[in-house]
Amino acid sequence: MVAAPQRILLVKLSSLGDIVHALPVPVSLRATFPGARIAWAIEKKWLPLVARHPDVDEFILIDSMEVRRRPHRWSGLRDGLRALRAFHADCAVDLQGTVKSAVLTAWSGAPLRIGFARAARREGLAGWAYTRRVAPHAAHVVEQMLELAAAIVPSSEAPQTPFQRRLQFPFPVPSAAQRSVDSWIAANQLGDFAFFSPGGGWASKRWPSDQYAVLAEKLGRDYGLTIVLNRGPGERDMDDAYRRANEIRARLFSGDVEHLAAVLTRARLAVGGDTGPLQLAAALAVPTVALFGPTDPARNGPYSESCTVIRKTAATTYRRGNAYSPAMLAITPEEVAAACGQLLGRARPATSMPAPAPAPERAW
Protein backbone atom coordinates (compact mmCIF):
# COMPACT_ATOMS: atom_id res chain seq x y z
CA MET A 1 0.00 0.00 0.00
CA VAL A 2 1.27 3.47 -0.90
CA ALA A 3 1.54 5.83 2.09
CA ALA A 4 -0.93 8.70 2.16
CA PRO A 5 0.69 12.06 1.32
CA GLN A 6 1.52 14.22 4.29
CA ARG A 7 2.34 17.48 2.50
CA ILE A 8 0.34 18.39 -0.61
CA LEU A 9 1.16 21.41 -2.75
CA LEU A 10 -1.42 22.92 -5.12
CA VAL A 11 -0.21 25.25 -7.86
CA LYS A 12 -2.94 27.54 -9.19
CA LEU A 13 -1.62 31.03 -9.72
CA SER A 14 -4.41 32.99 -11.42
CA SER A 15 -6.89 34.34 -12.33
CA LEU A 16 -10.23 35.14 -10.67
CA GLY A 17 -12.51 32.68 -12.48
CA ASP A 18 -9.88 29.94 -12.71
CA ILE A 19 -9.16 30.13 -8.99
CA VAL A 20 -12.88 30.03 -8.17
CA HIS A 21 -13.11 26.81 -10.19
CA ALA A 22 -10.28 25.33 -8.12
CA LEU A 23 -11.89 25.98 -4.71
CA PRO A 24 -13.37 22.44 -4.40
CA VAL A 25 -9.93 20.81 -4.72
CA PRO A 26 -8.68 21.51 -1.17
CA VAL A 27 -12.12 20.58 0.22
CA SER A 28 -11.89 17.19 -1.49
CA LEU A 29 -8.26 16.64 -0.48
CA ARG A 30 -9.03 17.42 3.15
CA ALA A 31 -11.88 14.91 3.14
CA THR A 32 -9.62 12.28 1.54
CA PHE A 33 -6.43 12.96 3.53
CA PRO A 34 -7.54 14.57 6.80
CA GLY A 35 -4.04 14.45 8.28
CA ALA A 36 -2.24 16.09 5.36
CA ARG A 37 -0.90 19.62 5.34
CA ILE A 38 -2.14 21.45 2.24
CA ALA A 39 -0.37 24.46 0.72
CA TRP A 40 -1.49 26.61 -2.21
CA ALA A 41 0.98 28.48 -4.44
CA ILE A 42 -0.78 31.57 -5.79
CA GLU A 43 0.00 34.95 -7.27
CA LYS A 44 0.08 37.56 -4.51
CA LYS A 45 -2.62 39.57 -6.30
CA TRP A 46 -5.15 36.77 -5.93
CA LEU A 47 -4.50 35.77 -2.32
CA PRO A 48 -7.77 37.34 -1.04
CA LEU A 49 -9.69 34.77 -3.10
CA VAL A 50 -8.36 31.89 -1.03
CA ALA A 51 -6.96 33.46 2.15
CA ARG A 52 -9.85 32.18 4.29
CA HIS A 53 -10.26 28.80 2.63
CA PRO A 54 -10.96 26.46 5.56
CA ASP A 55 -9.03 23.53 4.07
CA VAL A 56 -5.76 25.25 3.15
CA ASP A 57 -3.06 25.35 5.82
CA GLU A 58 -0.48 27.52 4.11
CA PHE A 59 -0.21 29.95 1.20
CA ILE A 60 2.93 30.42 -0.85
CA LEU A 61 2.91 33.79 -2.58
CA ILE A 62 4.43 34.07 -6.04
CA ASP A 63 4.86 37.73 -6.95
CA SER A 64 5.70 37.51 -10.64
CA MET A 65 3.89 40.81 -11.19
CA GLU A 66 6.67 42.54 -9.28
CA VAL A 67 9.19 41.32 -11.85
CA ARG A 68 7.01 42.58 -14.70
CA ARG A 69 6.64 46.01 -13.11
CA ARG A 70 10.26 46.30 -12.00
CA PRO A 71 12.54 43.86 -13.83
CA HIS A 72 15.38 44.58 -11.41
CA ARG A 73 13.28 43.58 -8.38
CA TRP A 74 13.22 39.86 -7.61
CA SER A 75 12.72 39.81 -3.85
CA GLY A 76 9.05 38.76 -3.89
CA LEU A 77 9.58 36.01 -6.43
CA ARG A 78 12.74 34.84 -4.66
CA ASP A 79 10.90 34.57 -1.35
CA GLY A 80 8.15 32.54 -3.01
CA LEU A 81 10.64 30.12 -4.54
CA ARG A 82 12.32 29.64 -1.18
CA ALA A 83 8.96 28.96 0.45
CA LEU A 84 8.14 26.36 -2.21
CA ARG A 85 11.29 24.42 -1.40
CA ALA A 86 10.89 24.87 2.33
CA PHE A 87 7.41 23.34 2.26
CA HIS A 88 8.99 19.94 1.39
CA ALA A 89 5.95 18.70 -0.53
CA ASP A 90 5.75 14.97 -1.13
CA CYS A 91 3.08 15.62 -3.80
CA ALA A 92 2.53 18.66 -6.03
CA VAL A 93 -0.53 19.14 -8.26
CA ASP A 94 -0.32 21.67 -11.10
CA LEU A 95 -3.90 22.84 -11.61
CA GLN A 96 -2.88 25.53 -14.11
CA GLY A 97 -1.01 23.65 -16.84
CA THR A 98 1.27 26.47 -18.02
CA VAL A 99 5.04 26.59 -18.35
CA LYS A 100 5.25 28.99 -15.40
CA SER A 101 3.18 26.79 -13.11
CA ALA A 102 5.08 23.70 -14.27
CA VAL A 103 8.42 25.31 -13.39
CA LEU A 104 7.11 26.04 -9.89
CA THR A 105 5.78 22.49 -9.58
CA ALA A 106 9.19 21.07 -10.48
CA TRP A 107 11.02 23.59 -8.27
CA SER A 108 9.03 22.37 -5.25
CA GLY A 109 11.11 19.18 -5.31
CA ALA A 110 8.05 16.97 -4.76
CA PRO A 111 8.79 13.39 -5.82
CA LEU A 112 5.22 13.04 -7.14
CA ARG A 113 4.24 15.83 -9.55
CA ILE A 114 0.82 15.62 -11.20
CA GLY A 115 -0.42 17.59 -14.19
CA PHE A 116 -2.67 17.37 -17.21
CA ALA A 117 -1.87 15.26 -20.25
CA ARG A 118 -0.94 17.26 -23.33
CA ALA A 119 -4.42 17.50 -24.86
CA ALA A 120 -5.88 18.99 -21.67
CA ARG A 121 -3.20 21.42 -20.53
CA ARG A 122 -3.00 25.03 -21.61
CA GLU A 123 0.63 24.95 -22.72
CA GLY A 124 2.10 21.79 -24.19
CA LEU A 125 5.66 22.40 -22.97
CA ALA A 126 4.52 22.21 -19.36
CA GLY A 127 4.44 18.41 -19.45
CA TRP A 128 8.17 17.98 -18.79
CA ALA A 129 7.63 18.81 -15.10
CA TYR A 130 5.22 15.99 -14.28
CA THR A 131 5.83 12.47 -13.09
CA ARG A 132 2.15 11.57 -13.48
CA ARG A 133 -0.01 12.93 -16.32
CA VAL A 134 -3.78 12.80 -16.28
CA ALA A 135 -6.10 12.77 -19.29
CA PRO A 136 -9.39 13.95 -17.76
CA HIS A 137 -12.71 12.49 -18.84
CA ALA A 138 -14.94 15.30 -17.56
CA ALA A 139 -15.89 18.28 -19.69
CA HIS A 140 -15.88 21.05 -17.09
CA VAL A 141 -12.62 22.37 -15.64
CA VAL A 142 -13.97 22.06 -12.08
CA GLU A 143 -14.30 18.32 -12.50
CA GLN A 144 -11.08 18.08 -14.51
CA MET A 145 -9.14 19.59 -11.63
CA LEU A 146 -10.77 17.14 -9.25
CA GLU A 147 -9.57 14.33 -11.52
CA LEU A 148 -6.04 15.69 -11.14
CA ALA A 149 -6.37 15.69 -7.37
CA ALA A 150 -7.81 12.16 -7.42
CA ALA A 151 -4.67 10.97 -9.26
CA ILE A 152 -2.74 11.36 -6.00
CA VAL A 153 -4.26 8.00 -5.14
CA PRO A 154 -2.98 5.37 -7.62
CA SER A 155 -5.75 3.32 -9.19
CA SER A 156 -4.38 0.22 -7.49
CA GLU A 157 -4.90 1.90 -4.10
CA ALA A 158 -8.26 3.52 -4.80
CA PRO A 159 -10.36 0.84 -3.03
CA GLN A 160 -8.33 1.38 0.18
CA THR A 161 -8.27 5.19 -0.08
CA PRO A 162 -11.25 6.33 -2.16
CA PHE A 163 -11.09 9.94 -3.29
CA GLN A 164 -13.72 12.05 -1.56
CA ARG A 165 -15.11 14.35 -4.24
CA ARG A 166 -16.62 17.52 -2.75
CA LEU A 167 -18.22 20.12 -5.02
CA GLN A 168 -18.08 22.98 -2.55
CA PHE A 169 -16.86 26.55 -3.17
CA PRO A 170 -15.99 28.06 0.20
CA PHE A 171 -15.55 31.82 0.11
CA PRO A 172 -16.28 33.41 3.51
CA VAL A 173 -16.98 37.11 3.04
CA PRO A 174 -15.15 39.22 5.66
CA SER A 175 -17.63 40.91 7.98
CA ALA A 176 -15.89 44.29 7.59
CA ALA A 177 -16.25 44.12 3.80
CA GLN A 178 -19.93 43.17 4.11
CA ARG A 179 -20.64 46.05 6.49
CA SER A 180 -18.91 48.50 4.15
CA VAL A 181 -20.87 47.27 1.13
CA ASP A 182 -24.17 47.30 3.02
CA SER A 183 -23.54 50.93 3.96
CA TRP A 184 -22.85 51.76 0.31
CA ILE A 185 -26.03 49.98 -0.80
CA ALA A 186 -28.07 51.91 1.75
CA ALA A 187 -26.47 55.25 0.83
CA ASN A 188 -27.31 54.67 -2.84
CA GLN A 189 -30.85 53.48 -2.00
CA LEU A 190 -30.36 50.51 -4.30
CA GLY A 191 -33.12 48.26 -3.03
CA ASP A 192 -33.33 45.11 -5.14
CA PHE A 193 -30.59 45.17 -7.75
CA ALA A 194 -29.03 43.15 -10.55
CA PHE A 195 -25.27 42.97 -10.95
CA PHE A 196 -23.88 43.36 -14.48
CA SER A 197 -20.37 42.23 -15.39
CA PRO A 198 -19.83 43.44 -18.98
CA GLY A 199 -16.07 42.84 -19.15
CA GLY A 200 -14.38 39.65 -20.20
CA GLY A 201 -10.73 39.80 -21.14
CA TRP A 202 -11.18 40.24 -24.87
CA ALA A 203 -13.88 41.79 -27.01
CA SER A 204 -15.08 38.72 -28.91
CA LYS A 205 -16.57 37.15 -25.78
CA ARG A 206 -18.29 40.31 -24.55
CA TRP A 207 -21.88 41.42 -25.03
CA PRO A 208 -22.19 45.06 -26.19
CA SER A 209 -22.69 47.75 -23.57
CA ASP A 210 -25.73 49.18 -25.34
CA GLN A 211 -27.41 45.78 -25.04
CA TYR A 212 -26.78 45.77 -21.30
CA ALA A 213 -28.37 49.23 -21.24
CA VAL A 214 -31.54 47.93 -22.93
CA LEU A 215 -31.61 45.00 -20.52
CA ALA A 216 -31.29 47.39 -17.57
CA GLU A 217 -34.38 49.29 -18.73
CA LYS A 218 -36.36 46.06 -19.05
CA LEU A 219 -35.33 44.81 -15.60
CA GLY A 220 -36.17 48.17 -14.07
CA ARG A 221 -39.53 48.42 -15.79
CA ASP A 222 -40.67 44.83 -15.38
CA TYR A 223 -39.09 43.82 -12.06
CA GLY A 224 -38.21 47.04 -10.26
CA LEU A 225 -34.49 46.27 -10.22
CA THR A 226 -31.75 48.83 -10.10
CA ILE A 227 -28.34 48.02 -11.61
CA VAL A 228 -24.83 47.75 -10.21
CA LEU A 229 -22.35 47.85 -13.07
CA ASN A 230 -18.97 46.24 -12.44
CA ARG A 231 -16.03 48.12 -13.90
CA GLY A 232 -12.72 46.27 -14.07
CA PRO A 233 -9.32 47.72 -14.91
CA GLY A 234 -9.32 49.39 -18.31
CA GLU A 235 -13.10 49.11 -18.75
CA ARG A 236 -14.08 52.80 -18.63
CA ASP A 237 -15.02 52.76 -22.34
CA MET A 238 -17.63 50.08 -21.71
CA ASP A 239 -19.04 52.10 -18.83
CA ASP A 240 -19.22 55.24 -21.00
CA ALA A 241 -20.99 53.34 -23.79
CA TYR A 242 -23.52 51.97 -21.29
CA ARG A 243 -24.26 55.42 -19.92
CA ARG A 244 -24.75 56.89 -23.39
CA ALA A 245 -27.37 54.23 -24.12
CA ASN A 246 -29.29 54.37 -20.85
CA GLU A 247 -30.80 57.35 -19.07
CA ILE A 248 -31.14 55.36 -15.84
CA ARG A 249 -27.76 55.57 -14.15
CA ALA A 250 -26.28 52.33 -12.92
CA ARG A 251 -24.24 52.40 -9.74
CA LEU A 252 -20.62 51.74 -10.59
CA PHE A 253 -18.64 49.22 -8.62
CA SER A 254 -14.87 48.92 -8.91
CA GLY A 255 -13.50 47.27 -5.78
CA ASP A 256 -11.33 44.42 -4.59
CA VAL A 257 -12.44 40.80 -4.62
CA GLU A 258 -13.65 40.79 -1.01
CA HIS A 259 -15.97 43.75 -1.59
CA LEU A 260 -16.99 42.27 -4.93
CA ALA A 261 -18.14 39.14 -3.13
CA ALA A 262 -19.98 41.24 -0.56
CA VAL A 263 -21.86 43.09 -3.32
CA LEU A 264 -22.72 39.84 -5.05
CA THR A 265 -24.22 38.31 -1.91
CA ARG A 266 -26.78 41.12 -1.89
CA ALA A 267 -27.68 40.93 -5.60
CA ARG A 268 -30.94 39.39 -6.76
CA LEU A 269 -29.13 38.08 -9.83
CA ALA A 270 -25.95 38.55 -11.87
CA VAL A 271 -25.61 38.86 -15.64
CA GLY A 272 -22.39 38.71 -17.64
CA GLY A 273 -20.26 36.89 -20.12
CA ASP A 274 -17.30 34.61 -19.57
CA THR A 275 -15.88 36.64 -16.68
CA GLY A 276 -14.35 36.04 -13.28
CA PRO A 277 -17.00 38.03 -11.39
CA LEU A 278 -19.73 35.86 -12.91
CA GLN A 279 -17.87 32.71 -11.80
CA LEU A 280 -17.64 34.14 -8.30
CA ALA A 281 -21.36 34.95 -8.33
CA ALA A 282 -22.14 31.34 -9.20
CA ALA A 283 -19.82 30.08 -6.44
CA LEU A 284 -21.72 32.28 -3.98
CA ALA A 285 -25.02 30.72 -5.17
CA VAL A 286 -26.24 33.98 -6.71
CA PRO A 287 -28.68 33.29 -9.59
CA THR A 288 -26.73 34.02 -12.77
CA VAL A 289 -27.45 34.46 -16.46
CA ALA A 290 -24.28 33.66 -18.40
CA LEU A 291 -23.87 34.95 -21.94
CA PHE A 292 -21.47 32.82 -23.96
CA GLY A 293 -20.25 33.02 -27.54
CA PRO A 294 -16.90 31.69 -28.74
CA THR A 295 -15.86 30.04 -25.45
CA ASP A 296 -17.49 26.82 -24.29
CA PRO A 297 -19.72 27.00 -21.20
CA ALA A 298 -19.61 23.21 -20.91
CA ARG A 299 -15.91 23.58 -20.14
CA ASN A 300 -15.59 26.84 -18.23
CA GLY A 301 -19.06 28.21 -17.62
CA PRO A 302 -20.36 29.02 -14.12
CA TYR A 303 -20.59 25.79 -12.14
CA SER A 304 -23.98 26.24 -10.50
CA GLU A 305 -27.50 24.87 -10.55
CA SER A 306 -28.76 28.45 -10.31
CA CYS A 307 -27.29 29.46 -13.65
CA THR A 308 -28.92 29.89 -17.04
CA VAL A 309 -26.55 29.86 -20.01
CA ILE A 310 -27.47 31.58 -23.28
CA ARG A 311 -25.35 30.65 -26.27
CA LYS A 312 -26.23 30.95 -29.97
CA THR A 313 -23.40 28.94 -31.52
CA ALA A 314 -21.77 25.53 -31.25
CA ALA A 315 -18.45 26.76 -32.66
CA THR A 316 -15.79 27.07 -29.98
CA THR A 317 -12.58 29.06 -30.10
CA TYR A 318 -10.34 30.63 -27.47
CA ARG A 319 -8.64 32.90 -29.97
CA ARG A 320 -8.71 36.45 -28.64
CA GLY A 321 -10.73 38.58 -31.03
CA ASN A 322 -10.75 42.38 -30.80
CA ALA A 323 -14.32 42.81 -32.06
CA TYR A 324 -17.71 41.55 -30.91
CA SER A 325 -18.36 38.06 -32.24
CA PRO A 326 -21.50 37.27 -34.30
CA ALA A 327 -22.47 34.73 -31.64
CA MET A 328 -22.55 37.39 -28.92
CA LEU A 329 -24.32 39.89 -31.17
CA ALA A 330 -27.04 37.29 -31.81
CA ILE A 331 -28.10 37.35 -28.15
CA THR A 332 -31.01 39.74 -27.62
CA PRO A 333 -31.94 41.74 -24.52
CA GLU A 334 -35.42 40.24 -24.72
CA GLU A 335 -34.24 36.66 -24.25
CA VAL A 336 -31.81 37.67 -21.50
CA ALA A 337 -34.61 39.52 -19.70
CA ALA A 338 -36.81 36.42 -20.01
CA ALA A 339 -34.07 34.26 -18.48
CA CYS A 340 -33.69 36.77 -15.66
CA GLY A 341 -37.41 36.66 -15.03
CA GLN A 342 -37.37 32.88 -14.72
CA LEU A 343 -34.53 33.03 -12.21
CA LEU A 344 -36.36 35.66 -10.21
CA GLY A 345 -39.08 33.08 -9.78
CA ARG A 346 -41.98 35.08 -11.05
CA ALA A 347 -43.73 35.67 -14.35
CA ARG A 348 -43.72 39.06 -16.00
CA PRO A 349 -46.30 41.29 -14.29
CA ALA A 350 -49.46 42.05 -16.21
CA THR A 351 -48.89 45.76 -15.61
CA SER A 352 -45.35 46.96 -15.98
CA MET A 353 -43.77 48.68 -12.99
CA PRO A 354 -42.14 52.08 -13.35
CA ALA A 355 -38.38 52.08 -13.42
CA PRO A 356 -36.91 52.96 -10.00
CA ALA A 357 -35.95 56.61 -9.68
CA PRO A 358 -32.22 57.17 -9.31
CA ALA A 359 -30.98 58.31 -5.92
CA PRO A 360 -28.03 60.69 -5.48
CA GLU A 361 -25.02 58.57 -6.31
CA ARG A 362 -22.36 57.71 -3.74
CA ALA A 363 -19.23 56.46 -5.47
CA TRP A 364 -17.70 53.21 -4.36
Instruction: Tell me the DSSP string of 169-216.
Output: ---PPPHHHHHHHHHHHHHTT--SEEEEE---SSGGGPPPHHHHHHHH
User: Which backbone phi and psi does 41 adopt, to 5 degrees?
Assistant: -90, 125
Of 284 and 63, more confident: 284
In a domain, 15, yes or no: yes
Please report which confidence band the pLDDT of residue 3 belongs to, taking 50, 70 and 90 as the band edges.
confident
> 232 and 114: one domain?
no
In a domain, 311, yes or no: yes
Mean pLDDT of 165-176: 96
pLDDT at 345: 86
pLDDT at 40: 98
> 181 and 116: one domain?
no
Q: Which of 150, 184, 207 is at the close of a domain?
A: 150
In a domain, 352, yes or no: no
In a domain, 353, yes or no: no
> 191 and 340: one domain?
yes
Q: Which of 115, 135, 150 is at the close of a domain?
A: 150
Please report which confidence band the pLDDT of residue 347 belongs to, taking 50, 70 and 90 as the band edges.
very low
Q: Is the pLDDT of residue 148 over 90?
A: yes
In a domain, 167, yes or no: no
pTM of the prediction?
Answer: 0.90
* Cβ neighbours for 234, distance < 8 A, ≥ 6 positions apart: none
Residue 242, domain extent? 175-344
Tally of domains in the chain:
2
CATH number at residue 44: 3.40.50.2000
In a domain, 275, yes or no: yes
Give per-residue pLDDT as tens, 235-284: 666 666 666 656 656 788 988 999 999 999 999 999 999 999 999 999 99
pLDDT at 362: 63
Helix (H, G, I), strand (E, B) or coil at 157: coil
